[in-house]
Amino acid sequence: MSTSIVEIPDRVSAIQAWRAWKLQVTPMQKPSSIFRVLAEPKVELVSLNYPPKDIWPSAHPLEAQCLNFRSVDEEWDRLVGANHTIPDEHCTCGIYAVKSLAAAAHYGGIVGTVLLWGKVIEAIDGFRAQYAYPGTLYLSEENWKHRHSLKSIYNVECLPFPLLKRHPDWKEQGGGLTSSFMTAANWTPVNFFLSSSSSF
């Protein structure tokens, strides 16, 4: 594999879509240190429904894998085969993302944009991609305290939920968003000030 293919592309050359993540927070303890209680927890983005647990790496793209090798049958082997490209049109593998903000919000967790590249298969409502990296993350009030950690780990923009209302997709799909999502989007972050340099 060439190294150039896994570099994280800029936002122009990659496909931008929406998805949702869980936040995995691991307490970091420094044994026999008086600073133990001051250690920052380790935070990571984790895919919602991917066994085994799929942790999104820092500063490197997540590369899709295919777990269907385990359940090979003759029909699958004839259509796809163990050496198929990932993702493959006849398989279900790939890193999933959806086109609509409303669909991503339906899953809950951390909602954000995601960059997709490599081989990308487009469906009606979304995509399956070979490589992916988080884009802009919209944090709930509960997760707002992790914004600095997320920014340093993934070098991504972290914005509070309410700013989703300024995204063009909100205007198009706001009616389809769940009531819990709308409620969450109304919180007022104490430390956030609208900036003229905002990308929206």
User: In the complex, which residues of this chain contact Zn ion (CB under 5 A)?
Assistant: 66, 68, 91, 93
The two three-digit tokens of residue 43, written as one number: 């935070």
Nearer Cβ to Zn ion, position 113 or 130? 130
Instruction: Kindly state the smallest distance separating residue 143's Cβ from Zn ion, in Å.
Output: 32
Least distance (Å) from Zn ion to the CB of residue 64?
8
Return the closest-CA partner of residue 55 out of 8, 87, 22.
Answer: 22
CB of 124 to Zn ion, least distance (A): 20
User: Which residue number, 4 or 70, has a Cβ lying nearer to Zn ion?
Assistant: 70
- Strand partners for 120: 129
Q: Cβ of residue 37: shortest distance to Zn ion, in angstroms?
A: 45
Q: Are strands 158-160 and 126-139 parallel, antiparallel or unpaired?
A: parallel
Give the H or E element holding residue 77: helix 74-79
Distance (Å, rounded) from C-alpha 100 to C-alpha 171? 12
Cα gap 91→79, rounded to integer Å: 9
